[in-house]
Amino acid sequence: MAQMNMKEAIRDAMRVELNRDPNVLIFGEDVGNVGGVFRVTEGLQKDFGEDRVFDTPLAESAIGGLAVGLGIQGFRPIAEIQFIGFIFEALDQIVIQAARMRWRSGGKYNAPIVFRTPFGGGVKAAELHTDSLEGLIAQSPGIKVVIPSNPYDAKGLLIASIRDNDPVFFMEHLNLYHAFRAEVPEGEYTVELGKANVVREGSDVTIVTYGLMVHTAVKAAEQLEKEGIKVEVIDLRTVSPIDIDTVMESVKKTNRVIVLQEAQKSAGVAAEVIAQINEKGILHLEAPVLRIAGPDTIYPFAQIEDTWLPNPARIIAGVKKVLDF
Amino acid sequence: MSKVPYEVYTEDVEALSVLSPDGEVINKDKMPTLTDDQLKEIMYRMVFTRTWDDRAVNLGRQGRLGFYAPVSGQEATMIGSEFALEKEDFVCPGYRDIPQLVWHGLPLYQAFLYSRGHQHGGQIPDGVNVLMPQIIIGAQILHATGIAMGFKLKKQKSVAITYTGDGGSSEGDFYEGLNFAGRFKLPVIFFVQNNGYAITTPFAKQTAAKSIAHKAIAAGIPGVKVDGMDIFAVIRAVQEAAERGRNGEGATLIEAVTYRFRPHSLSDDASKYRSKEEEGQWNEKDPIARLAKYLEKKGLWTEEDTLRVREEAKATVNEQIKKAEQTEKMTISGLIDTMFEVTPKHLEEQKADFE
């Protein structure tokens, strides 16, 4: 098995699908010749030609709309939005057009599109390059939101997303592109969308999280283990829809939960997870479910982002709070 | 102080006109080739559409239709542009462009269902290459661009046509679509029906450009202006644009100058922003009267024909609205089932709340 970082795993997924299905197309700003500003699509244009992998003019709404039109024509577009902050320019095409294509046509048309975009803090990027906008997309009906935390999942989830006949918003954390290598099988395999992963088993407290925060949670869990506190960490992998069954199994075991997200605290994925835990089994809880998240401010300039982002110390304090309730 | 020298393209674009208001062909070179049967068919569709529009306005007032944007006055742009296409060509409409959908194959009762807010209105029959009417003013422009790229990639000699109004030409999506189509040389026709008003905002307050056709220059595609009350000019312009697209020569922007005789929708009052005098001037250019004069001179049409088609249209509209009204109501379960190909568990649970 090959060792890959997350960027290579994502590229490998696209290569596998470009090979397998002639209808798969990749386009966006700068994705062709140089392979994107992060080189995620590097080499794909050379191998598959300019009809399959191509640069577009700089216009996010048109990239989204082009994907919708090509989807209607039977293609399977992978449209890259260069940075997360630019999705607002394309939001109409993503959440109004693509996400409601099946519904408004009564099932006649669909939009088998993957919108890929890098996001995520801790890399000292420019303003509007790092925001966690998954909650915004997750609130829109008709589109799935996928956020991998490791190379294996990234490849399997991306292949599953490309094969999905509905639109998928696929978010790639900037801080995970090169963070580490892991074993990734060659060829094709899928990781089911909408299925969470128990990353680490424990019996005292459950941390539900996704993306880069999976690794931050595991770090906190390792430190807590030295104090005899056993933390279970769940990686949601898909934040819309949420795999509440896997979460609830854990809740029934630990009875104490923290939901951890990098995004601002209010009205986001964490709030949704807590609402669903309440609906499914509030009586399994021994303490209120806590949210650990970014504060409700505009995402900060680079200088203080390390303080702004949730860290192991804040998680450890949160775990102790729910244990002491 | 000397001024900085600059040059801007400011020449007027003359509108293509083929048929005079008196029904005379004044531009023989640009007269489309049409058989007598085709001429009669075009006239039939225009009269039918005018009658259906009259009925639709009444049905709207009776609460039997939902949102409805009147089309009277724009029959030449709508029917002419669609008539110039092949069945395989793809129509990407704005909210007013229902006639193009129907004449391209969408059953009329489904158009009524769409107006009444029923999903079945959007379940376009197989082989009918149209999208549902678009509410977001410029979004369909980009869909047409993507569909046209699909034709190009499949090496299929078809074109996509998309419609918007003078207001729509101010949207960012309009520029993005034109630019993409120019860059990728796509077989798409951007057809702007400039009816003078974006709801109530007059063209003079919409843009400082001399014409909408000028806007093509920036995208590197041809822009043409046609008399939108002259169906022959419209047919000719769309035929030429379609031919360019099929020959791999890329996109065309067509600005058709037209007028809607009625308000923007059933909920606004045109007398608040238009004068009777202006309306009267445009009435004299009525595209149906103009074609009728031409056909009557050729002995192809009479007043009796008009009356016959009106009766036929009324009967058809009555039958189709009844069919729409008798179509089974939508259900929440049905809505949920059309969100995704495979309904996720949480939605199955939400469905159960309504059963």
Dump pLDDT digits (tens) for A129-181: 999 999 999 999 999 999 999 999 999 999 999 999 999 999 999 999 999 99
Percent of chain B with pLDDT over 90: 94
Main-chain dihedrals φ then ψ at residue B279, nearest 5 degrees:
-60, -40
Interface test with A, best of B88, B142, B174 (most A CBs within 10 A): B142
Does a structural domain hold residue B349? yes
Does a structural domain hold residue A191? no
Predicted local confidence at residue B1, as pLDDT: 60
Report chain A residues whose CB lies below 8 A from the CB of B148.
Answer: 69
A215 is catalytic: no
Predicted local confidence at residue B18, as pLDDT: 96
Predicted local confidence at residue A205, as pLDDT: 98
Using CB atoms and an 8 Å cut-off, which of residues 24-53 of chain A contact chain B? 25, 51
Q: Contact A78/A24 with Cβ under 8 angstroms?
A: yes
Predicted local confidence at residue B83, as pLDDT: 98
Q: Mean pLDDT across the stretch B104-118?
A: 97
CA distances for B150 relative to A73, A94, A237, angstroms? 6, 19, 32
Using CB atoms and an 8 Å cut-off, which of residues 148-177 of chain B contact chain A? 148-151, 153-154, 160, 172-173, 176-177
Residue A178 and residue A230 in one domain:
no
What is the distance in angstroms between the Cα of A10 and the nearest Cα belonging to chain B?
25
Contact B123 A106 (CB under 8 A): yes
* Complex ipTM: 0.96
Mean pLDDT of chain B, nearest integer: 96
CB contact A245 to B (< 8 Å): yes
Neighbours of B79 (CB within 10 A): 28
- Taking only the tens place, the pLDDT of each residue in A25-73 is 999 999 999 999 999 999 999 999 999 999 999 999 999 999 999 999 9
CA pair distance B333, A77, nearest whole angstrom: 30
What is the distance in angstroms between the Cα of A100 and the nearest Cα belonging to chain B?
7
- Taking only the tens place, the pLDDT of each residue in B150-192 is 999 999 999 999 999 999 999 999 999 999 999 999 999 999 9
Does a structural domain hold residue B18? no
Predicted local confidence at residue A1, as pLDDT: 84
Predicted local confidence at residue B124, as pLDDT: 97
Instruction: Calculate the CA dihedral of residues A275, A277, A282, A285 and round it to 10 degrees.
Output: -120
Using CB atoms and an 8 Å cut-off, which of residues 262-291 of chain B contact chain A? none
Q: Contact B257/B53 with Cβ under 8 angstroms?
A: no
Q: Please, which pLDDT band fits residue B7 given cuts at 50, 70 and 90? A: low
User: Which domain does B311 fall in, by range?
Assistant: 28-353
Residue A43 and residue A127 in one domain:
yes
3-state secondary structure of B305: helix
Does a structural domain hold residue B116? yes
Tell me how many domains chain B contains: 1
Look at residue B218 and tell me whether its pLDDT is greater than 90: yes
Does a structural domain hold residue A171? yes
Q: Mean pLDDT across the stretch B275-304?
A: 97
Q: Please, which pLDDT band fits residue B248 given cuts at 50, 70 and 90? A: very high
Q: Residue A245 corresponds to which tokens in the numbers above? A: 């069954």
Which residue carries 């048929």 as its tokens?
B19
Does a structural domain hold residue A161? yes
Does a structural domain hold residue B62? yes
Predicted local confidence at residue B2, as pLDDT: 67
Tell me how many domains chain A contains: 2
CATH of the domain at B234: 3.40.50.970
Residue A124 and residue A145 in one domain:
yes
Q: Please, which pLDDT band fits residue B12 given cuts at 50, 70 and 90? A: confident
Interface test with A, best of B88, B190, B340 (most A CBs within 10 A): B340
Residue A33 and residue A151 in one domain:
yes
Predicted local confidence at residue A44, as pLDDT: 98
CATH of the domain at A243: 3.40.50.920
* Peptide bond preceding A241 in cis form (omega within 30 of 0): yes
Does a structural domain hold residue A190? no
- Taking only the tens place, the pLDDT of each residue in B33-66 is 999 999 999 999 999 999 999 999 999 999 999 9
Angle at A93 between CA A92 and CA A95, to 5 degrees: 65
Predicted local confidence at residue B9, as pLDDT: 66
Q: Contact A134/B180 with Cβ under 8 angstroms?
A: no
- Taking only the tens place, the pLDDT of each residue in A72-122 is 999 999 999 999 999 999 999 999 999 999 999 999 999 999 999 999 999
What is the distance in angstroms between the Cα of A62 and the nearest Cα belonging to chain B?
6
Using CB atoms and an 8 Å cut-off, which of residues 78-117 of chain A contact chain B? 92-93, 96-97, 102-110
